[in-house]
Amino acid sequence: MKIVGLLCGREFSFPPAFLDRVNSLGAKDGVSAEFVKLGGTRMGEPARYSVIVDRISHEVEYYRGYLKHAVLQGTYVINNPFWWTADDKFFNYAVAAKLGIAIPKTVLLPQKGYPADIDLTGESLHNLEYPVDWDALLDYVGRPAILKPYSGGGWKHVYKVHNKEELLAAYDKTSPYPMTLQEFIDFKEYVRCFTFGKSDITPVHYDPKERKYHVDHAYLSAELGARVVKDAQTINQALGYEMNTIEFAVKDGIPYAIDFLNPAPDFERDRITEFYFEHVLEKMSRLVIDRALHGPASGPWPRWEEMLKIGAASGFIGAPGVVPAAVPANAPAKPAVAAQTAAAAAPASASTAPSPAAKSPAPPSGSTPK
Ligand SMILES: Nc1ncnc2c1ncn2[C@@H]1O[C@H](COP(=O)(O)OP(=O)(O)O)[C@@H](O)[C@H]1O
Ligand SMILES: [Mg+2]
């Protein structure tokens, strides 16, 4: 018997429907689903779950610790708890921009303040320039601009500012969070993509003003739809997410990726519509059953260093799971490094193939879009 565990918080409609669906679809293959139950984790305790779907460890740190341990014991966790811990929006904007995705100009800002229990003085912060040249930063991103956390969600501390005065008034409310200042995209269309696995992408018409999803299959032209799907696949390949929403603001036909650090996306029936709720249930259930039975189709680890061919330069020796080329004992050091880099950058092998459930086009061959 393979068991899928669900870790979630105050969600209403998705959890029971998901457990039911996995139990009914998975029964013939011996896959069942249940809520994860935890009451203190003993080091080395064996994994009960083949797969865990994590929708809450960003808010309950004990769960994050448990999930890392579960990975060590052989559980496949969606999403990878190590990478989720490491990721932030500024880094992932920068990765995506290097991979050819349209990204609004973005600046990472020094924090307004620090948690009260950290004893910082002016001397602690001597690496920071003061005062910040706000005019220059605004000149760079343009006006109006968006001020938002470098890690966050639910529109908390997202401000639209038109000038320096508004920027500083908003910034003053943001302690202790690191913030980004971003070019405002005056969009015509706005798309939220559900992603199931790295390559199965469902773009949905989303109205940020009303915060509503719409069922509107003709919303994007075929050409724009194809670009959005390809860009979303590239982002998920680079960052390793398998359950995500990726948001694009479209201006003059160009889809700017605005927010793609949503590893516990909203799946509530009332908000995503009955149509997409059913779609999400089916896709998520098939994804976890596939992972429980067949293990990682493409692995939960990010591949940005491999896709950008900077593995060796940045000190990496290949993404985990990419076995470095065997080095003969007498081989000189330099060619061995070159061989390793070449192996890491090699065109797609089975490990980059889309999951069996994937209907969308395959990820870019070699995972190195121009
Ligand atoms: N650069 C931008 N240009 C235009 N609108 C933006 C931009 N960044 C964010 N927004 C708007 O603010 C909303 C919330 O920002 P987002 O980056 O998605 O943060 P969160 O993680 O809180 O959802 C977006 O849905 C979008 O409507
Ligand atoms: Mg968002």
**What is the distance in A from the centroid of ligand 2 to the CA of 261?**
8
Using an 8 Å Cβ cutoff, are 225 and 250 in contact?
no
Q: Within 6 Å (CB) of ligand 1, which residues are found? A: 104, 146, 148, 152-155, 158, 182-185, 208, 247, 249, 258-259
Q: What is the distance in A from the centroid of ligand 1 to the CA of 201?
A: 20
What's the pLDDT score for residue 312? 60
pLDDT tens per residue, range 115-173: 999 999 888 999 999 999 999 999 999 999 999 999 988 899 999 999 999 999 999 99
Domains 2-86 and 105-183 share a fold: no
Phi-psi region of 130 (alpha: psi -120 to 50; beta: other; left: phi over 0): beta
274 forms beta bridges with none
Any idea which ligand is nearest the CA of 257?
1
The dotted CATH code for 105-183 is 3.30.1490.20
Burial class (CB in 10 A: 0-12, 13-18, 19+), 343: middle
End-to-end CA distance of the chain: 44
**Cα–Cα distance list, 123 to 110, 111, 117, 172 (Å):** 15, 16, 17, 21
Residue 155 CA: which ligand is closest? 1
Residues of the chain with pLDDT under 70: 297-298, 311-370
Ligand nearest to C-alpha 249 = 1
* Element (DSSP H or E) covering residue 164: helix 164-171
Give distance in angstroms: CA of 246 to centre of ligand 2: 8
Mutate to test the pocket of ligand 1, among 206, 258, 262 (most ligand atoms within 8 A of CB): 258
Ligand 1 centroid distance, CA of 184 (Å): 9
- The percent of the chain in helix, strand and coil, each rounded to the nearest 5, is 35, 20, 45
Ligand 2 centre distance from Cα of residue 146 (Å): 13
**What local confidence, expressed as pLDDT, does residue 11 receive?**
96
Residue nearest to atom 2 of ligand 1 (CA): 184
Q: Whose CA is nearest to atom 13 of ligand 1?
A: 155
What is the distance in A from the centroid of ligand 2 to the CA of 50?
A: 30
Confidence (pLDDT) at 325 = 47
> At the topology level of CATH, where does 2-86 sit?
Rossmann fold (3.40.50)
Q: How far is the CA of 153 from the centre of ligand 2 (A)?
A: 6
Give the pLDDT score at 239. Answer: 96
Proximal ligand: closest to the CA of 154? 1
Ligand 1, pocket-test mutation among 103, 106, 143, 148, most atoms within 8 A of CB: 148
Q: Where are the domains of the chain?
A: 2-86, 105-183
